[in-house]
Amino acid sequence: MTKGTILVIGSNGTQLEARGGGTITIGQFLNETAVPLMTLVAAGYDFVLATPTGEKPVMDKDSDALIYFAQDDEARTRARDFFNNDPGMNDVRTIRSMIDAGLDRFAGVFFPGGHAPIVDVMQDPDAGEVLRYFHSTNKPTAAICHGPISMLAALDNARAFRAALIDGDKVKAHALGKGWQYAGYRMTVFSRSEEEYAEENVFHKKLIFNMPDALEAAGAEVINADNFTSFVVVDRELITAQNPMSDHELAAKFVAALEKAA
């Protein structure tokens, strides 16, 4: 007997538009995926991984680095083995199929990080349907780093909202954000200054928009701590983490929320 099953909403994004043209190669972040899921499994939970296409997420190559594992190569190897070889990571479904089979069997939902969700999940109508279910049933909803951008999928017209962000049309984005189920929620996400560091030192390109601006345009109260330090915000059913260094704290608070909800 397990304590429950967690729905994991992954991304199929591998190329993100850059400001001024071109793309940035991205993916799902290793530690932001594996560490919370390994913690959930150790705590007695199962998980099902679903993506928009039903294909497995591609690992962001830049995330396979010791810096995200406190320079512990053994921890990185365990995470990499989990991402590559765990049966649950390789039996991937479509989000639509999970909705059609019934979401009531899931105890919570988790959105891993990496820049990938900016490409597809944040504007995916099926992801939006999942979010509306978990919000309406008050079941724990967790997201880390860029994962919180996925919460925007719950908007009535998430695709148009994303387009307005890219165009820099703040008035239109604000109008399209009205009625968002998370308006007024306190949450965190990869910060402006952390993103600037990534743009300058990793991508050498500018993103199409930053994450705090996007969430605030829809009505979130975004809170950030110091760059690259662990920081997690819990507001009602929503648990959000700021960056890769928040993986263990996010996992612990998600498990605590699941235990409380049970």
- Give CA–CA dist 76/96, Å, rounded: 32
Q: Are 157 and 176 in contact (CB under 8 A)?
A: yes
- Give CA–CA dist 144/2, Å, rounded: 24
Q: What is the pLDDT of residues 176-211, one digit of tens each?
A: 999 999 999 999 999 999 999 999 999 999 999 999
- Give CA–CA dist 49/33, Å, rounded: 11
Q: Are 103 and 50 in contact (CB under 8 A)?
A: no
What single letter denotes the amino acid at residue 242?
Q
Q: What is the pLDDT of residues 227-255, one digit of tens each?
A: 999 999 999 999 999 999 999 999 999 99
Q: Report the domain count for the chain.
A: 1
3-state DSSP assignment of residue 253: helix
CATH number, position 103 = 3.40.50.880
Q: Are 51 and 12 in contact (CB under 8 A)?
A: yes
Q: Average the pLDDT over 165-177 and give the result.
A: 97
What single letter denotes the amino acid at residue 107?
A
Domain range for residue 226?
4-261
Predicted TM-score of the model (pTM): 0.98
